[in-house]
């Protein structure tokens, strides 16, 4: 397809596609004339992944480029690709791990979870627990284990919905969109369920 | 206690406390001289709730005043107070319900949840599902029921942690803080659990 059709099908303006081509976020098309190139489904798919990384995960163009390079290097390895795209692991595995919370490290150890030392969610969890503690709203260890067990079941449900026939890059794109975009829905369900549970306990 | 001690114990500047007094967000203290008043623990508690409603839920001063008026009218009714403070129900029960999503109404009906027609989370849920659909990432009805069941268990765990001896207003303050402040921790746990689940399925 021409760049105009790639633009139409992806919803990304032609000028933006040209910018991504110059920056190397999209591989060049097959040249059909001095100023024309043909693009195919792989370009469309890559373009959607780029848009998701920039628009949904908020990555910069250069960070997106690094993630895509790392995805390409592990294209056949489903877990690697998922981990890279979901931001659970950084591009540079030799980088210093984020400053962790000992409490979170201990929890993950106790749960037996296989999670990169670099996962940004470790720090988010630690900071949130610290904030609650500073407001005299400590979350007990038992409650934390309860929330973790529910998170395990949520994650299993998330992954169950991925198409096992899809190629790893498509699957990663889908996982990325669902991870981030489902968040408000899961929080809304919790608030609705709280109201219901509160009503139920008072009747 | 004097206003200076109320300020020290709450962390709220004296000028702000005076503003809340003028606006009627805090009841006046007991006058001890022409320009002096004594405050007690009920003022401190009310002040913390005001700060949570403004700072955590992002309400305006006038909306906070309305919520507090409604809380006072239902002070002995635990569920009413919780519902008011968590924002699940608006102050004016006669107001038009928020434009709902028929899909969300049907889901709540199927689950048998007792949830106000006014709950803002209904619209959030509907919009999020619509966004996912527009990106070809439809959440199946079965998956939605699965997430709702996990939300029920999360809400039960949330409410289990409230001190049953606390008075309804304190309990509502605690519930408000935990509802909002735990959100990043729950999302972080889901991301960590996804990485673990992805690793587990590939070994």
pLDDT in tens, A109-145: 999 998 878 777 888 899 889 888 877 888 999 999 9
Q: For B98-154, how does the pLDDT look when each residue is reduced to its tens digit (9 = 90+)?
A: 666 889 999 999 999 988 787 778 888 998 898 888 778 889 999 999 999 999 999
The more confident residue out of B41 and A85 is: B41
Chain A positions touching B178 (Cβ under 8 A) are 132, 137
For B72-105, what is each residue's pLDDT tens digit?
Answer: 787 777 777 777 776 644 455 455 656 668 899 9
pLDDT in tens, B163-187: 888 877 788 878 887 888 899 899 9
Nearest to A193 by CA among A141, A138, A150, A164: A150
The pLDDT assigned to A98 comes to 59
B positions 171-190 inside 8 Å of A (CB): 174-175, 177-179, 181-190
DSSP label at B139?
P
Phi and psi, residue B114, nearest 5°: -90, 100
Q: Do A195 and B108 touch (CB under 8 A)?
A: no
| Residue B39, token pair as written in the block | 């405050």
For the question of an ipTM over 0.90, the answer is no
The pLDDT assigned to A100 comes to 65
With beta carbons less than 8 A apart as the criterion, state whether B179 and A99 touch. no
Phi, psi values for residue A25, rounded to 5°: -75, -25
Closest to B77 in 3D by CA, of A31, A201, A102: A201
In the prediction, which pLDDT does B203 show? Answer: 59
Minimal Cβ distance to B189: which of A127, A151, A200: A151
pLDDT score at B4: 95
d(C-alpha B194, C-alpha B188), whole Å: 10
Q: Token pair of B88, please?
A: 């699940």
Note whether B171 and A129 are within 8 A (CB).
no
Going by C-alpha positions, the residue among A5, A49, A4 that lies closest to residue A26 is A49
A138 near B CB under 8 A: no
Residue A172, number of CB atoms within 10 A of its CB: 26
What is the 3 state secondary structure string of B154-195? Answer: HHHHHHHCCCCCCCHHHHHHHHHHHHHHCHHHHHHHHHHHHH
Question: What kind of architecture, by CATH, is found in domain B1-73?
Answer: Orthogonal Bundle (1.10)
Q: How much is the pTM?
A: 0.77
A146:B135 CB<8 A: no
- Sign of the CA dihedral B147, B151, B152, B154? positive
Q: Residue B134's pLDDT is what?
A: 79
User: Taking CB atoms and an 8 Å limit, are A139 and B161 in contact across chains?
Assistant: yes
Within an 8 Å CB–CB cutoff, is residue A7 touching chain B? no
| B163 contacts in chain A (CB < 8 Å) | none
Q: Return the domain boundaries, chain A.
A: 1-73, 95-203
């Amino acid at each position: 397809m021409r760049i105009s059709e790639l633009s139409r099908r992806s919803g990304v303006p032609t000028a933006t596609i040209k910018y991504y081509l110059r920056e190397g976020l999209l591989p060049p098309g097959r040249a059909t004339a001095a100023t024309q190139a043909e693009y195919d489904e792989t370009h469309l798919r890559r373009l959607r992944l780029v848009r998701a990384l920039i628009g949904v995960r908020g990555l910069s163009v250069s960070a997106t480029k690094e993630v895509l390079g790392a995805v390409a290097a592990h294209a056949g390895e489903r877990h690697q690709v998922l981990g890279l795209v979901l931001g659970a692991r950084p591009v540079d595995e030799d980088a210093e791990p984020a400053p962790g919370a000992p409490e979170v490290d201990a929890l993950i150890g106790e749960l037996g979870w296989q999670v990169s030392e670099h996962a940004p969610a470790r720090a988010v969890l630690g900071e949130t627990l610290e904030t609650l503690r500073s407001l005299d709203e400590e979350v007990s260890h038992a409650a934390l284990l309860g929330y973790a067990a529910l998170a395990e079941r949520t994650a299993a449900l998330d992954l169950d919905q991925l198409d096992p026939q899809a190629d790893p890059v498509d699957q990663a794109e889908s996982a990325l969109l669902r991870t981030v975009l489902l968040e408000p829905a899961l929080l809304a369900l919790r608030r609705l369920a709280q109201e219901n549970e509160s009503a139920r306990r008072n009747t």
